[in-house]
Chain A
């Protein structure tokens, strides 16, 4: 049975090209590929530790190297065989990559998570680089100061209008970027770090084996799955995915994954007929995977994924829902493997019985006493436990909509750029001990089902009838923007852009609590890059 599935998977694998899955094998290794293809412009330094000019003075993620090679191909005349390109990206990402600790703060940009508002970006980076790039774009590279300076010179040649842009032209942008920002980047993101030296030297755990996965897809909801990861060749795996959505519907899929720098998992899977991408980071011990899975052709439609390696001992991955109201009975889905039926949720919560059990999850009926103390509970399943797995609450006092600030982009309508949707979820809170919502002691309950609506964000949006034109939100909190192109019905024949508020309403026992998020529906992103 397993063998037949594997054959099917392997046939499929040849058709997927995502950071280099393919069957053709390169005859030469990374350094040789550089020597044969790059030395028309780059030169050999004669130094063993940094053999090639420019190339050896930088470290990047697999996507970062892919972008560099794309640019060399499209603008500098590089001709590289696809099989050599795959080998080269793997070689560079493995030998000149980033340590897990160096990418930890910037996973969102690799995961293509939409609508992230970056926090704590250094001022020098914000004013010099972030008119166009995310802070993560710089944060996911390591260079010598001289290389950061060469990058500034590159920008002057590649984008000659750069020092004339709004936000740049009111200061000596080039001099600041060259003399100040580059120096700070060289100090903050240097080529040589202990983190990378240590990680490069550390043994890497193989990632094959059985995994239990928990995740979310905006249009399908939460899911659990077992993932069989079978070694193919070094750092390449074949996957089989079997699981269930929250409503009990089965989920099946298969695909491939490739691991760069010992932990950067890039998967290409087909689940229930839909092509999807996985961008995960393996933990340093190789026992968990976390990241995001999204539709190949619509990367906004995706969600968080977390997986743990299944072993002989019980493993808990997640619990859903993550809340229970005082005095109510609730069915909990506990995702994990080897789950025993010895379940405890602490004081005030009684376990009424196991409803069903599969390889990846268990449905358990639990009851909260009317006087169960409000607060988080630890879930224990046999010898395994999960802290803050369930919140006991009195009533929903506040609802936050996430993301709070968001952008969707018009598209389609015969144009080359598809619509960029935006997705929303409602997070409920209890008021906490002080009885007031919106204070520090609010108790986070987790994602709650909500109904969705839109309204104009302000008086201008109302006057311009943005609500009529900018798009629609569905029952799952997925906003689909309007068609691209001029709209003669609108003032100045403007596009179907708009400034909206997304309203999510959680109803509980007849009481409705709403939260709002800001949504700007804007024009297409004409320069979309692997790392924005």
Chain B
């Protein structure tokens, strides 16, 4: 039930920096950072929201048909890469003026290529990665072929082409980038990492192929529809499993459990294990920047949990479904969004609603991401 705790040096450093702010040096990273909330609504617009005022700053028209509304931010926060056109194309927007500074189309007349959520940017901002799921378009039939990691150079500008590709597993969703090892995290049936220079893949955490007996456990359903975690540099792949305390299939004795594989995107440190009893559906999770044992979840409710103790601390019913959730770096506000056209703002201590941002269209499955821009 419990996470194996790991020491996180980067976290310690953050605490020191916060201390500096309190001492009034004015030199802290946080003090010099503006955080912008990014999301996409139908029909197809990228929205930039100032988290200081929680006001919409600008909306950028995204070319093509709405896709999944996936967003990846450049590390300097200045460019937002948006996946569009039914999961096929990516456009990079300068978030200060909506200028399109990057674009790529994955499909060709001979090949239909979709990326299911999978998009991330390297820590230096020079490369953008997608996992491509290609289907060859023969004259009278389709042929699904092996998925691949595609590497694009962000300064190739418009109509960029992949500079490298490497074969990867099927069913990959959420990607992340490990700064220390320059690997892309591949969230699929198992959690793996691929070296972006040579395509070498290693396993970070076995999930569907874990070593537990089927008499004792149901193989996990690991799935992520959204990417977040940038507020503290964390990648979370949640999963659901059942522990059979009696005979397999004996629901009376069974335990329904949430598990999480967490990757520290700075160091690559991995923790994995069951963390909470399954009480209700949570679509996405984020960790409290000030207490790594505390997570918040969104769906039909906003909820707060202690994953060290395996306890639900608070549940705040929501007026409708919100797929998505994110937080500011200092942990002062929770943003709950996706699905419909309003972003609900909450106090992490009490989960009470403290504000709302109304958008012109539905967010549907769109990401809700934080871009951190140094002043």
Q: How far is the CA of A493 from the CA of B317 in the complex (A)?
A: 13
Would A492 and B141 be within 8 Å (CB), given that A153-B135, A172-B170 are in contact? Answer: no
Q: How far is the CA of A150 from the CA of B144 in the complex (A)?
A: 10
Does A296 interact with chain B (Cβ within 8 Å)? no
Q: How far is the CA of A43 from the CA of B138 in the complex (A)?
A: 12
Q: How far is the CA of A170 from the CA of B219 in the complex (A)?
A: 7
**Contact: B135 with A169, CB < 8 Å?**
no
Question: Interface code A167-185, partner B: CB below 8 Å = 1, 0 otherwise?
Answer: 0011111110000000000
**Contact: A493 with B319, CB < 8 Å?**
yes
Would A153 and B140 be within 8 Å (CB), given that A164-B173, A170-B221 are in contact? Answer: no
**Contact: A169 with B223, CB < 8 Å?**
yes
CB A200 to nearest CB in B, in angstroms, measures 25
Q: How far is the CA of A509 from the CA of B137 in the complex (A)?
A: 70
**Contact: B116 with A164, CB < 8 Å?**
yes
**Contact: A153 with B143, CB < 8 Å?**
yes
CB A139 to nearest CB in B, in angstroms, measures 23
Q: How far is the CA of A492 from the CA of B340 in the complex (A)?
A: 12
CB A301 to nearest CB in B, in angstroms, measures 34
Does A41 interact with chain B (Cβ within 8 Å)? yes
Q: How far is the CA of A174 from the CA of B189 in the complex (A)?
A: 13
User: What residues of A have a CB within 8 angstroms of the CB of B30 in the complex?
Assistant: none
Would A41 and B116 be within 8 Å (CB), given that A163-B171, A492-B321 are in contact? Answer: no
**Contact: B144 with A174, CB < 8 Å?**
yes
**Contact: B223 with A150, CB < 8 Å?**
no
Does A53 interact with chain B (Cβ within 8 Å)? yes
Q: How far is the CA of A2 from the CA of B87 in the complex (A)?
A: 62
User: What residues of B have a CB within 8 angstroms of the CB of A43 in the complex?
Assistant: 139-140
User: What residues of A have a CB within 8 angstroms of the CB of B219 in the complex?
Assistant: 170-171
User: What residues of A have a CB within 8 angstroms of the CB of B321 in the complex?
Assistant: 492
CB B52 to nearest CB in A, in angstroms, measures 31
Q: Which of A216-257 contact B (CB under 8 A)?
A: none
**Contact: A170 with B220, CB < 8 Å?**
yes
Q: Range of interface residues on chain A? A: 20 to 34
**Contact: B139 with A41, CB < 8 Å?**
yes
User: What residues of A have a CB within 8 angstroms of the CB of B189 in the complex?
Assistant: 169-170, 172
Does A154 interact with chain B (Cβ within 8 Å)? yes
Would A153 and B144 be within 8 Å (CB), given that A170-B208, A171-B208 are in contact? Answer: yes
Q: How far is the CA of A128 from the CA of B133 in the complex (A)?
A: 20
Q: Which of B304-329 contact A (CB under 8 A)?
A: 318-321
Query: Of all chain B residues, which has the CB nearest A150?
Result: B141
Does B300 interact with chain A (Cβ within 8 Å)? yes
Does A42 interact with chain B (Cβ within 8 Å)? yes
Does B51 interact with chain A (Cβ within 8 Å)? no
Would A493 and B320 be within 8 Å (CB), given that A160-B135, A164-B173, A164-B223 are in contact? Answer: yes
User: What residues of A have a CB within 8 angstroms of the CB of B144 in the complex?
Assistant: 152-153, 156-157, 174
**Contact: A160 with B171, CB < 8 Å?**
no
Does B114 interact with chain A (Cβ within 8 Å)? yes
**Contact: B220 with A153, CB < 8 Å?**
no
**Contact: B116 with A161, CB < 8 Å?**
yes
**Contact: B141 with A153, CB < 8 Å?**
yes
Does B112 interact with chain A (Cβ within 8 Å)? yes
Does A511 interact with chain B (Cβ within 8 Å)? no
**Contact: A492 with B116, CB < 8 Å?**
no
Interface of B is mostly: loop
Question: Interface code A4-48, partner B: CB below 8 Å = 1, 0 otherwise?
Answer: 000000000000000000000000000000000000011100000
Q: How far is the CA of A172 from the CA of B222 in the complex (A)?
A: 13
Q: How far is the CA of A43 from the CA of B141 in the complex (A)?
A: 11
User: What residues of A have a CB within 8 angstroms of the CB of B319 in the complex?
Assistant: 492-493
Q: How far is the CA of A53 from the CA of B320 in the complex (A)?
A: 50
Would A53 and B140 be within 8 Å (CB), given that A153-B135, A493-B319 are in contact? Answer: yes
Question: Interface code B89-101, partner A: CB below 8 Å = 1, 0 otherwise?
Answer: 0000000000000
Does A158 interact with chain B (Cβ within 8 Å)? yes
Does B210 interact with chain A (Cβ within 8 Å)? no
User: What residues of B have a CB within 8 angstroms of the CB of A156 in the complex?
Assistant: 135, 142, 144
**Contact: B142 with A158, CB < 8 Å?**
yes
Q: How far is the CA of A415 from the CA of B149 in the complex (A)?
A: 42
**Contact: B133 with A160, CB < 8 Å?**
yes
CB B139 to nearest CB in A, in angstroms, measures 5
Q: How far is the CA of A174 from the CA of B172 in the complex (A)?
A: 13
CB B141 to nearest CB in A, in angstroms, measures 5
CB A128 to nearest CB in B, in angstroms, measures 15
**Contact: B141 with A164, CB < 8 Å?**
no
**Contact: B221 with A492, CB < 8 Å?**
no
Q: Which of B214-232 contact A (CB under 8 A)?
A: 219-223
Q: Which of B270-324 contact A (CB under 8 A)?
A: 300, 318-321
CB A323 to nearest CB in B, in angstroms, measures 41
Q: How far is the CA of A153 from the CA of B143 in the complex (A)?
A: 5
Would A157 and B300 be within 8 Å (CB), given that A163-B170, A172-B189 are in contact? Answer: no
User: What residues of B have a CB within 8 angstroms of the CB of A169 in the complex?
Assistant: 171, 189, 221-223
Q: How far is the CA of A166 from the CA of B281 in the complex (A)?
A: 13
Q: How far is the CA of A166 from the CA of B171 in the complex (A)?
A: 12
Q: How far is the CA of A171 from the CA of B171 in the complex (A)?
A: 9
Q: How far is the CA of A172 from the CA of B221 in the complex (A)?
A: 12
**Contact: B140 with A166, CB < 8 Å?**
no
**Contact: A160 with B116, CB < 8 Å?**
yes
CB B342 to nearest CB in A, in angstroms, measures 13
Does A54 interact with chain B (Cβ within 8 Å)? yes
Question: Interface code A492-503, partner B: CB below 8 Å = 1, 0 otherwise?
Answer: 110000000000
Chain A residues near B (Cβ < 8 Å): 41-43, 53-54, 150, 152-154, 156-158, 160-161, 163-164, 166, 169-175, 492-493
Would you list 11 pairs from A and B whose C-beta atoms are within 8 A, ordered by A residue?
A41-B139, A157-B135, A157-B144, A158-B142, A160-B114, A164-B116, A169-B222, A170-B221, A171-B208, A492-B300, A493-B320
| Given contact pairs A150-B141, A150-B142, A174-B170, a sample of 16 additional A-B residue pairs in the complex whose CB atoms are under 8 Å apart | A43-B139, A153-B135, A153-B141, A154-B142, A157-B137, A160-B112, A160-B114, A161-B116, A163-B171, A166-B221, A169-B221, A169-B222, A170-B189, A170-B219, A170-B220, A492-B318
